[in-house]
Amino acid sequence: MNQRDMFFKWLFYSAAALLFLLLQGLVLDRLPLWQGIHPYLPPLIAIIPAVLESRQESTFFAIGVGMVMDLLTPTPFSAFYTLVFAAAALLTQQIAKRVIVPGYICALLCGALAQFLTHCGRFLLMGVYSRHVILAMLAMAGRELVLTLPWTFPCFWLGLKIYRRMRDV
């Protein structure tokens, strides 16, 4: 694959990520579905290319998505999403390469892992030590995971379309 094709492949992945980020910001954030909780797509957006592409570019893509999220979302730690999404992409690459064949099941597992890493990072940043608060936050994280995982299928489907189209070029 030459540089021009590589550029367009990652441009298409970025356009798909922008589409889902717009969906998140304009629609999903305004739909409190389950006790005020809504799906949270950015961890999925960051790891879908890492499921399909076993190259280091997918990690850089996850870092880019993390940087965008750090710029758009206020967090106590300025590089929170960048670090979490990079770690999730690296773990996803290893899982897709060595444990599970890249596909919908792998994307579901890796999406759950990315959500888990995001919530663990939030728990650590908040410095929560009260058992009641931890249980409430775990319940919230569980509801968000249940609402987010069905979105793995459209995210992965679009990523798979891009992957197959650009693989044949």
48 in any annotated domain: yes
Q: Is 35 left (phi over 0), alpha (psi -120 to 50) or beta?
A: left
Q: Note down the domain range covering 20.
A: 3-25+39-167
34 in any annotated domain: no
C-alpha 77/C-alpha 60 separation (Å) is 20
32 in any annotated domain: no
Per residue of the chain (169 residues), give pLDDT as tens: 788 888 898 999 999 999 999 998 898 888 877 777 888 899 999 999 999 987 788 899 999 999 999 998 887 778 889 999 999 999 999 998 888 888 899 999 999 999 999 888 887 777 766 777 778 788 888 888 988 899 999 999 999 999 998 887 6
DSSP H helical ranges for 53-151:
57-72, 80-98, 104-126, 131-148
Q: How many domains does the chain have?
A: 1
C-alpha 35/C-alpha 76 separation (Å) is 25
Dihedral angle of Cα 53, 67, 105, 20, to the nearest 10 degrees: -100
30 in any annotated domain: no
Question: Six-digit token pair at 157?
Answer: 């489907």
33 in any annotated domain: no
